[in-house]
Amino acid sequence: MGFMSLGCGWDYGRKCQWETDILVGFLPKAWSDRTHTTFTLKQNYIPWSIRCCDRFAVEPLSCGIYLNLITGEDYWVREPDRYPGDSYYGFTSRLRAHLYFGQRFTYYLKNDSLLRNITLYYEFSANDLDIIAKCGNKSLELSEIVYFSVGIKFQLLRL
């Protein structure tokens, strides 16, 4: 998703346990050859939420999938002509699918404010290409394919 992302989304389901988010992020030059923009479509599932008091809840499991697209000349959807054959790599370097799981901690604000709640979360994720590589290479360590993310989510409205 990049170093930092900003977006919007909505929650739905019987107990609002499903969420869909659309995010735009950036990856600074400090972590890449140049600055890149990222676009993410994320589907979250939160099976249960445990209210600890009036204003605080713990979501002990959040999980889901997201698609992440990165911009830049070095990333492609179809392989460039410089690679031999029709399917030298057989995958796109621009688009990755990720599976993730994590936990969330939510603080609920007053009902009459525009800002409804603030959620702190962390996630562990792995992308499709790294998972396939791990299946074919048992010497590849989990720490080499699993990514750690932290974030803050602000819910402004509830319709």
pTM for the model stands at: 0.85
What would the mean pLDDT of 137-155 be, rounded to a whole number? Answer: 92
| Residues 6 or more apart whose Cβ sits within 8 Å of residue 136 | none
| Residues 6 or more apart whose Cβ sits within 8 Å of residue 134 | 126, 140, 142, 145
Number of domains in the chain: 1
Cα-Cα-Cα-Cα dihedral of 85, 90, 94, 97, to 10°? 180
The pLDDT of residue 25 is: 94
Supply the DSSP symbol for 38. E
What are 155's strand-pairing partners?
117
d(CA 29, CA 51): 41
Mapped onto helix, strand or coil, the DSSP state of residue 32 is coil
The pLDDT of residue 126 is: 96
| Residue range(s) defining the domain that contains residue 138 | 4-155
Instruction: Give me the half-sphere count of Cα atoms (radius 13 Å) on the Cβ side of residue 19.
Output: 19
With CA atoms as reference, report the closest residue to 91 among 76, 70, 74, 107: 76
What would the mean pLDDT of 20-41 be, rounded to a whole number? Answer: 90
- Give the H or E element holding residue 22: strand 18-27
pLDDT(15) > 60: yes
Residues in the chain, overall count? 159
The pLDDT of residue 82 is: 61
What's the pLDDT tens digit per position in 80-127? 566 656 665 567 778 899 999 999 999 999 877 788 899 999 999 999
Mapped onto helix, strand or coil, the DSSP state of residue 28 is coil
d(CA 109, CA 128): 38
Q: What is the CB neighbour count within 10 angstroms for residue 21? A: 19
